[in-house]
Chain A
Amino acid sequence: MSTAHVLLGLLAGGPRHGYDLKRAHDDRLPQAKPLAYGQVYATLGRLERDGLVAQSGQDQEAGPERTSYELTELGRERLAAWLTEVEPPAPYVSSVLFNKVVVALLAGGTDQATGYLTAQRVAHMTRMRELTATKTRPGASVGDVVAADYAIGHLDADLRWLQTTLARVAELQKEVTS
């Protein structure tokens, strides 16, 4: 799970406590879903159990948010291994969008599928405009731009697929219901 690796990465520069890790995560990965404190402590707990991080100190006022953690030697090795490992391109085609088109044809028909594809295109374009506005805002950080570009690229891939699939709805209907 990649949140664990991100926390290991954030600890590579030296010890930090949980509150700090949450803030650094949200700053460095703008537009990502903000990390909940509960998730930070749960993840740190697991990493500690597995020997990848260790407690390195406690501030004056004790409490979980004041405990700082550091990488262990094993944690450092695990992080290095993760960074050199190539992520396998997904072996199966899995997409709610695709599933929905097939089910729409099975359960409804071409109008249902076309209606869905059209509405999805509008939702995708709207989101793409929002992300584009975020990255062109004066003072947008490079992180904002890179995060928005990642999402825009994926929406664009979906949009191309929506467009070509719209043109193939009738053909697909024949195949699906034959």
Chain B
Amino acid sequence: MTGALLSGTGITKSYGATPALRGIDVTVGEGEIVAITGPSGCGKSTLLHCLAGILRADEGSVVYREQDLSLWSEASRSRLRRTEFGVLFQFGQLVPELTAAENVALPLLLAGSGRRDAREAALGWLARFGVADMADKRPPAMSGGQQQRCAAARALVTGPRVIFADEPTGALDQLSGEQVMTAMVQAVREQGSAVVLVTHEAPVAAYADREIVLRDGAIDPSGIGIVG
């Protein structure tokens, strides 16, 4: 690991009176896979959203390639998410009006690729995640697991520097979960992308190089994260 690609310092966030994060320090190195684990409600998703620049922290800073994202406008952060970040949520969040191939091609089109190239790349990624036969179907006609594989393809298609994945296998059966994780890890190792991986399952966290355990909005130094 050569210096931090992404780092959060003293990240604090509340929802109204509910504190969700109480001063979190994290760093993610170039090409590093970091798992964030811990019991339900401990703040994993909130931390991921803050690091990805989707949520703005109340206090603390998020620095990506030496730039403080908390000082950026929403428009600049959303441009960054399109170009350098890949985001994958528990429930696919595909565009329902577009086919699987169009969904996966979308980030490339937004980044200025030609239609033909974008479609070709999209088909390659769909194949890699085992859903080549879904290319011309729309999300409502796909199973939850197929949509999730498709969303994984979309998160990786631009070769992002950082992938943010929140419970990426949450909607999948065990075998599909393993296939998606293996395909994802192999792809990011080739691309040299870093991954922030939120999960509460040990076998999913084991795909990471390192694990950060949260407990009640803080990092649990013992790494056990139990409640009570």
Interface residues of A (CB under 8 A from B): 117-118, 121-122, 125, 128-129, 131-132, 135-136, 138, 149, 152-153, 155-156, 159-160, 163, 166-167
Contact = CB atoms under 8 A, between A and B. Distances in A.
Q: Is the interface of B mostly helix, strand, loop or mixed?
A: loop
Interface stretch (B4-12, B73-81, B203-211): B203-211
Contacts of B202: 125, 128, 155-156, 159-160
A134 to B, nearest CB: 11
Contact of B178 (A122, A125, A149, A155): A149
B226 A129 contact: no
Contacts of B226: 163, 166-167
B185 A136 contact: yes
A128 B223 contact: no
9 contacts: A118-B222, A121-B224, A125-B202, A136-B181, A136-B182, A159-B202, A163-B224, A167-B226, A167-B228
A167 B227 contact: yes
Given A118-B222, A149-B178, A167-B228, A129 B186 contact: no
B206 A152 contact: yes
For chain B, give the interface size range.
Answer: 20 to 34
A153 B203 CA distance: 8
Interface of B: 178, 181-182, 185-186, 201-203, 205-209, 211, 222-224, 226-228
Given A135-B182, A167-B228, A128 B206 contact: yes
Which one of A132, A135, A155 has the highest number of Cβ atoms from chain B below 10 Å of its Cβ?
Answer: A132
A131 B202 CA distance: 13
A118 B203 contact: no
Contacts of A132: 203, 206-207
Given A125-B202, A136-B207, A149-B178, 16 more contacts: A117-B224, A118-B224, A121-B223, A125-B205, A128-B202, A128-B203, A128-B206, A129-B206, A132-B206, A135-B182, A136-B181, A136-B186, A155-B202, A160-B202, A163-B226, A167-B228
Nearest to A128: B206
A121 B222 CA distance: 10
A87 to B, nearest CB: 22
A138 B186 contact: yes
Contacts of A122: 223
A163 B226 CA distance: 7
Which one of B186, B201, B202 has the highest number of Cβ atoms from chain A below 10 Å of its Cβ?
Answer: B202
Nearest to B37: A125
